[in-house]
Amino acid sequence: MNLPLKYPRDMSALVLDGRCVSDQILAELRPRVSALTKVGRAPGLAIVLVGNNPASHIYVRSKIKASEELGVRSFHHMPSEAITTAEMLSLIDQLNDDREVDGILVQMPLPKHLDTERILTHVDPSKDADGFHPLNVGNLVANRRAPRACTPAGILQMLNRYDIPLAGKRAVVVGRSDIVGKPMALMLLHANATVTICHSKTADLAGECRRGDILVAALGRPAFLDENFIKDGAIVIDVGINRLTDTAAVERLYGHDEERLAAFRKTGKTIVGDVQPRAMMERARAYTPVPGGVGPLTIAMLLSNTVTLAEQHLAS
């Protein structure tokens, strides 16, 4: 079931509902999980969380909750922040060897004293639920079947399910991270878009962004992209998750949204993406809100990767 994209020019921009798309993906996974449970066992996802980063704990709780609701077993490992790289590698070895575990997720960021690259590459590529292992990144480059990085894979699902055409379109990705920017550019390229990757050293960043029929913002700077960066009628995908506590900044960004302002006054904080919300509303044909846009898709694709890996393990 697709979500047909309609954007009449006499109406406001279409809000791309990440929660709705996520619900569709999870609904499609349920019979697959049920089938696996009947013929063998439910898929298993191991989540490793090191330290006491409050945001990481929130993310992990959301992932565990979504797993349990889908029928995916979650194995939660929470070692002390004092754990060494060698001890982390030993834990990863145990999970690699555990036949009950189909997917492994190491929650980022890790404490600075740990060798993040060494730990992530120690995960068995056939259990790489995040799609971060270099072997799976190489498979993405070659457009071969393999786990895909969850956030960009979720974005592609959203674009496809809203019937947003990609072939022949000019896509601009702002940000070159290994988690979002680079894999997003590759996935759009495989969908036959013409892709430009921009970053902090790009000359005339605003001008490059304005060329994009599709603009993906993943630079990690709150509300950095304003109306000068958005082509009229573009599709804007805002990946940013930035916490704001400054009253003046929040009032400047959300002066048009009394509900958001009221919530901010109550809690003293709000979440903003990398694109100014009013600029998206006024210039884009369709856009993802923050929150409620890209975020829910990341967890859905994590579970999708885990179920697919479980099916492959059962068949092997």
Positions marked catalytic: 63, 107, 130
Residue 79 φ then ψ, to 5°: -70, 160
CA angle 157, 129, 200 (to 5 degrees): 65
Q: How far apart are CA 250 and CA 243, in angstroms?
A: 10
Query: What pairs with residue 172 in β-bridges?
Result: 196, 215
Q: Which two tokens stand for residue 235?
A: 């599709």
189-219: string of b/e by CB count within 10 Å (b at 16+)? eebebbbbbbeeebeebeebbbebbbbbbbb
Distance of CA 304 to the CA centre of its chain: 13
Q: Which two tokens stand for residue 104?
A: 């492994």
Q: Which three-class secondary structure state does DSSP give residue 42?
A: coil
Query: What pairs with residue 73 in β-bridges?
Result: 44
Query: What pairs with residue 45 in β-bridges?
Result: 74, 103
Answer left, alpha or beta for residue 301, where phi above 0 means left and psi between -120 and 50 means alpha.
alpha
CA angle 276, 110, 94 (to 5 degrees): 135
